[in-house]
Each structure stands twice: as C-alpha cells, then as structure tokens.
Amino acid sequence: MKDRLELNSEAISMRKQFGADDSSPIHIFSLLGHSDYITLVLYPMGKRFAGMSVRVGENGLIAVNSGMSYGRQRLSCAHGLYHLYHQELCKRAVCLQDLETDDPHEMEANRFASYFIAPYEALREFIYKRLEKNKGEFLTDDVVRIEQYFGFSRQAVLKRLLEEDYLTLSQTKTMMAGAAEQAARLGFDPSLYAPSPKDKSYQTFGKYIQLAEELKSKELISTGKYEELMLSAFRSDMVFGGEGDDDLND
C-alpha cells in the first residue's frame, strides 16, 4: 500500500495536469467538466453509494451521488480520479459513502482524494498561518473555516485532521454534528453541507457532451439524434435552453 507522502505527491501531480497549482482551493467539477477524457455524471444514488468510476482506454466516466453533501461530492470526484489513473488494473469501481474501510485500494483512493482537495503543505500552511493554530488548539470554528476554504465535507476534514494529529479521536466525535448551522453562524454559505438541489441532481458534463457536439457540428447525426443524446444525459438545457457551464462552478 502506498504511503501518504506518495499519495500526496500523486495528488499534486494530477492537480498540475489539470492546470491547477499545489495550494489553492480547487474547482474540481469545473476541471472534470472541461476534460477531454472524462465524462462526469451527477446522479442520486441513495444513502449507501458515493459513486463509481469506469475506465475504457484513456477515457473514463466518474459518476457521483448528487444526494450526498456538496463537499462529499467533491471528494468523490477526486476519489474517482484515483481509480481511473492510478490503479491500472481497476477498470470499474463502485465506492461506498462510508470513508471508514479496510480495503487498501479504497484507503488509497480516499487519501489521494483528500490530498487532491487539500495538499499536505497547503492544509498545514492554512492551519499555521491563516488560523494561527497549533496541534491541540482546534475549536469547531477552525474546522468550519478549513471546510469552507478547501471545500471539504465534515467527515472528510475530521478524518484528515485526526490522521495528521491535529485532533484526537475524542475531539472529532464532539465535532461531527451541526456543520451547516455552525457555518451559517460564522457567515458562510451552508450549501457545502447540502445535497444538490433537485434541478441539478441529474447532470452530465465533459467528454460525452463534447463528442455529441462534435458529431452534430460535422453533421454525422441528425438534430433529433443530438437532442436524444442530450436528454439521455440529463441536459435538457442543451435542447431547450437554460443554464449551461454555470453549473460547473464550485
């Protein structure tokens, strides 16, 4: 099993492949939505599943459970990237919502995802320079500020802070609940902790849309077929008009 240093390095390398730096908050939906190789699908999957990934050659599909909190969806996107590009023998993976697992492949993917959202040094600098906190000095408000800055879910950020000895297990247990209310009290938008609204629960971005547009522009498919493809991908806005790439903004 890969150690954390290697996973952090791989996460930073992939951020740079997408044109992002190694420290800023990352707009992962936008990056994947504009990818030439990845199709991103948002779809409600119930309470058990976080998402799935499928790789065919150099192309991949990442499906994310839009019924999870927005912060958890972001982590699931990054988790899917790891299965697609860092586990060569993995052609298909179905991932559960629970971050606690004994499966070494899932543990690697979870840690990679956490580092992709917030690389080790980026989180460390935020804690020591922005929050001006040392290990053992954390309050719940500090956890909220980390979540809001990087776009983490509560479970994911507490797990990360526990692994890096910023918090004890007993502290994490007292901080697990009330994230949305705490964020609102501090003046933040609590939507990070909520699932996608109904009008954005079913969406497709990325390679699939690009291919359909290319086929249409080259007149290889009829307008009717193009509209059928868009509607099958939950993109009625491409047929009837409405919001477009604004849906990709984190």
> pLDDT for 100-119, tens place per residue?
888 888 999 999 999 999 99
> pLDDT for 10-58, tens place per residue?
999 999 999 999 999 999 999 988 889 999 999 999 888 999 999 888 8
Percent of the chain with pLDDT over 70: 96
Instruction: Give the pair of three-digit tokens for residue 151.
Output: 């776009």
pLDDT at 114: 97
CATH assignment at residue 16: 1.10.10
Kindly give the pairing relationship between strand 59-65 and strand 38-43.
Answer: parallel
CA–CA gap between residue 33 and residue 84 (Å, rounded)? 16
**Residue 174: domain span:** 121-188
In a domain? residue 184: yes
Residue 89 and residue 139 in one domain: no
Residue 114 and residue 158 in one domain: no
Residue 97 and residue 8 in one domain: yes
Confidence label for 99 from pLDDT (cuts 50, 70 and 90): confident
Number of H helices, E strands in the chain: 12, 5
Residue 143 and residue 50 in one domain: no
Nearest 5 degrees, angle CA 116-CA 35-CA 31?
A: 40
pTM reported for the whole predicted model: 0.91
